A and B are shown apart, each in its own frame.
Chain A
């Protein structure tokens, strides 16, 4: 069974707040849900499938379904792959819809990492320490330095430079200047990036994403429901997911991500190739995240990512692969340290023709949204969806 053409993203909402001291995390989830439902033209009683991940407080789906008063949920899924969870959820929602388990799926994400006691992106797992904890947690690993390890190895193997990585942030900043909600709106240069403070070698401050409160939500529906709604139809054409870890330590390979598996799965199901893609939402926790994923998804050869991203090639209207036209996690928003849902939301805007006019890609009929959750330097989950505007 394929999900190709079996489900549509009919609602998408990004919370406008980036700093939310006066709201709770459940409240943000509910506001995002309401925003996505209103965008689709549906009500909460239409929702019969609910998807959330580790940022959902308390008992996850059970707590949030009850808090939001969703009375008709008959299918739920709390797959947790960190920041890429919500891209996984799009694929899982399409599967559930294709199998007849639900017809209106709601996906939510929200949290408040900027607040002292905010939900900072939980991990799930029932409270037992991870099996690797004794041998890893003691060494002070963070997202910064574990992604730094990947960048260091990529530079060693392929000669990638800090200036090439900087171009990724430069492109994101060119897009963010047009987004009134973006956390950072100033256009930056390669020099600004490489001269910013070193955080974890070789990643500088401006190689890192923003930390923001907020959230987002998506509505995925069956073709029958989509037909009745008065919104442009964004068809789910293919999906892929793949976890990757150190694998017992024998073939540690920090220059490749799980995108080498999730990407081909999604492209094969969609029946398209990277050359067909008009717009790309690529997870950008750090600049190196984008570079590795662009290579692994097949937009260029492995090791050529540095050359590919340089000289504005990711800037809409300038380069060959317009990416993250909302400003991405590097400039716009990385709500509760999880950037997967905003990747899908901007892809939906592009396919609907509702991106900011300064960054809207002409005739944007085919887009990819791809994410990495967890850490590229240890264990992570990759997720890819191929989305299409239905003429």
Chain B
């Protein structure tokens, strides 16, 4: 890295295309429309993440997609400094519906992040795949 970079500039990161499979196709189709879906179990009522066909809590095969506003709070994060494309933050968001979601925090400077901060989902384009959810402070 030869050029000077503002250490607290809003973070960006190129994101590769995600692996899509039969269990998750609906999520990625909705993502193309800007809608954030999560899976909820019809039998026990609990939402989970990452989305699966079978509920990880009660093992029921009856799970349904529900649309989420994609809002929650930062559970934790870490800013990766050793990156050829500039620093980026990885962390978990605890959604208002309950489950914690692994994600990137982008469009915000590294020093502006804090545990407990409210964030909201947005979708970022990927190289040759569907857009993926990332989060930014509200």
Residues of A within 8 A of B50 (CB): 131-132, 134-136, 249
Q: Does B108 contact A (CB under 8 A)?
A: no
Residues A152 and B78 in contact in the complex (CB < 8 Å), given A138-B126, A248-B48? yes
> Are B76 and A135 in contact, CB atoms less than 8 angstroms apart?
no
- Chain B nearest CB, measured from A269 CB (Å): 29
Contact with B along A245-262 (1 / 0, CB 8 A): 011111010100000000
> Are B77 and A152 in contact, CB atoms less than 8 angstroms apart?
yes
> Are A249 and B76 in contact, CB atoms less than 8 angstroms apart?
no
Stretch at the interface among A87-95, A194-202, A322-330: A194-202
Residues A138 and B15 in contact in the complex (CB < 8 Å), given A248-B57, A252-B100? yes
- Chain A nearest CB, measured from B69 CB (Å): 17
* Nearest-neighbor residue (CB-CB) of B91 within chain A: A149
> Are B49 and A248 in contact, CB atoms less than 8 angstroms apart?
yes
Q: Does B34 contact A (CB under 8 A)?
A: no
Per the 8 Å Cβ criterion, residues 1-33 of B in contact with A are: 13, 15-21, 23-24, 28
Residues of A within 8 A of B78 (CB): 144-146, 148-149, 151-152, 200-203
List, sorted by A's number, 10 A–B pairs whose CB atoms are closer than 8 Å: A136-B50, A139-B104, A142-B80, A148-B78, A149-B78, A153-B76, A200-B79, A252-B75, A252-B94, A252-B100
Q: Which of A133, A152, A247 has the most CB of B within 10 A?
A: A152
Residues of A within 8 A of B99 (CB): 248-250
Given contacts A129-B21, A152-B76, A199-B80, 13 further A-B pairs with CB under 8 A are: A133-B19, A134-B19, A135-B18, A135-B102, A137-B16, A138-B17, A140-B88, A144-B78, A197-B81, A201-B81, A248-B56, A249-B48, A249-B101
> Are A246 and B76 in contact, CB atoms less than 8 angstroms apart?
no
Residues of A within 8 A of B17 (CB): 138
> Are A131 and B52 in contact, CB atoms less than 8 angstroms apart?
yes
Q: Does B36 contact A (CB under 8 A)?
A: no
Bound complex: CA of A127 vs CA of B83, how far in Å?
27
Q: Which of A138, A252, A254 has the most CB of B within 10 A?
A: A138
- Chain B nearest CB, measured from A154 CB (Å): 9
Query: Which of A131, A201, A248 is in CB contact (< 8 Å) with B79?
Result: A201
Q: Does B43 contact A (CB under 8 A)?
A: no
Interface residues of B (CB under 8 A from A): 13, 15-21, 23-24, 28, 46, 48-52, 56-57, 75-83, 88, 90-92, 94-95, 98-104, 110, 115, 126, 132
Q: Does A52 contact B (CB under 8 A)?
A: no
Q: Which of B17, B83, B99, B104 has the most CB of A within 10 A?
A: B99
Interface residues of A (CB under 8 A from B): 129, 131-142, 144-146, 148-153, 156, 197-203, 246-250, 252, 254, 378
Bound complex: CA of A151 vs CA of B76, how far in Å?
9
- Chain A nearest CB, measured from B95 CB (Å): 8
Bound complex: CA of A195 vs CA of B105, how far in Å?
26
Residues of A within 8 A of B103 (CB): 139
> Are B18 and A138 in contact, CB atoms less than 8 angstroms apart?
yes
> Are A129 and B19 in contact, CB atoms less than 8 angstroms apart?
yes
Bound complex: CA of A145 vs CA of B18, how far in Å?
20
Bound complex: CA of A133 vs CA of B17, how far in Å?
11
Bound complex: CA of A129 vs CA of B16, how far in Å?
15
Query: Which of A134, A136, A139 is in CB contact (< 8 Å) with B20?
Result: A134
* Nearest-neighbor residue (CB-CB) of A152 within chain B: B76
- Chain A nearest CB, measured from B35 CB (Å): 16
Residues A249 and B98 in contact in the complex (CB < 8 Å), given A138-B126, A139-B103, A152-B115? yes
Residues of A within 8 A of B75 (CB): 153, 252, 254
Residues A140 and B80 in contact in the complex (CB < 8 Å), given A145-B90, A248-B99, A252-B75? yes
> Are B56 and A134 in contact, CB atoms less than 8 angstroms apart?
no
* Nearest-neighbor residue (CB-CB) of A131 within chain B: B52
Residues of B within 8 A of A248 (CB): 46, 48-49, 56-57, 99
Residues of B within 8 A of A203 (CB): 78
* Nearest-neighbor residue (CB-CB) of A249 within chain B: B99
